[in-house]
Amino acid sequence: MFYSWSNTNKITTNALQIQYTGAYTKTYHGNRIYEFHRLATKEYSYVGMTEAAAKACQDAKLAQYTRKFV
């Protein structure tokens, strides 16, 4: 059993893929306003960890991949 996560116990099932979308949304004071999105996806898992290590890994990955900005 592993007590932490690393590349040793990481299994990647789908490599990183990045998609971009953009669209005209409205006009504001004569200027066209566009909205752009970047969607990045990757699938991987960590195996063979203790329950405590798995929970710590989950918390760390959630913090790593969650962004909020205006």
Question: What is residue 69's predicted lDDT score, i.e. its pLDDT?
Answer: 74
The answer to whether the pTM exceeds 0.85 is no
> What are the boundaries of each domain within the chain?
7-65
**Can you tell me the distance from the alpha carbon of 12 to that of 5, in angstroms, rounded to the nearest whole number?**
13
pLDDT tens per residue, range 15-70: 999 999 999 999 989 999 999 999 999 999 999 999 999 999 999 999 998 887 77
Q: How many CB atoms lie within 10 A of CB 54?
A: 15
In sequence order, which ranges of the chain are alpha helices (DSSP H)?
Answer: 51-65
Please count the residues of the chain: 70
Q: Which two tokens stand for residue 18?
A: 């990045």
